[in-house]
Amino acid sequence: MYRKPIVTYLRVSTDKQDLESQWMAIDMWAKTNNITIDERIIEEEPASGAEDNRPRFQELWSRVKEGKIGTIVVAELSRLSRRMRTLVNFLYDCFENNVMVVSIREGWLEDAMKNDIVRPIIIAVFGTLYELERKMISERTKAGIARVKAQGKHVGHPFKLSDKEVKIIVKLYREGVPIKRIAERLGVSRATVYRYLKRVGEK
């Protein structure tokens, strides 16, 4: 019934109890259903503003697309992502690649995916949300570019930061300043801050 390999994804904060409670729920489910978990993927909470930049989650997503995972088990769907857009896109890719998603808290999802009548409806709903989100992103991007052009600003590759600005980014990041605040202070996007932090080995 559950395709292998069966992988569980646990997303944790600094609270050790959080990890234990997630694992207890998953372990109880596995024992009740006589299931063996093949792999545990544990990831710590990302820094503020870095919801989609979780390396273990991105690795999990890539394996889903490559068809290297059969079942994903989580304590609750929010462990996968708190952003609806990311969650919808991830679940849609799971459905497209025939990956079963089991959420202990949201048991309705597993029941729906087992039902031959309900399953295509669920997939269709997520597919519609997926396409709608893509269209909205595209429209927002076009509107943003048009607005920038109307203001007479340059649209193209991101500009380069000076060595002094890069040092400021690293200093603030090491002091624990949120990425969003660093970006606002320098007048750049969060993506630019991430790019330079990665370039200097801080990410």
Which residues carry out catalysis? Answer: 13
Q: Are 70 and 5 in contact (CB under 8 A)?
A: yes
For residues 40-59, one letter each, b for 16 or more C-beta atoms within 10 angstroms of the residue's C-beta and e for the rest, the string is ebebeeeeebeeebbeebee
Helix locations, 33-117, DSSP H: 55-65, 84-96, 107-114
Q: Are 35 and 4 in contact (CB under 8 A)?
A: no
Measured distance CA(166)–CA(140) in Å, rounded: 29
Using N-to-C axis directions, what is the helix angle for 84-96 and 118-150, rounded to 10°? 130
What length is written for the chain?
A: 203
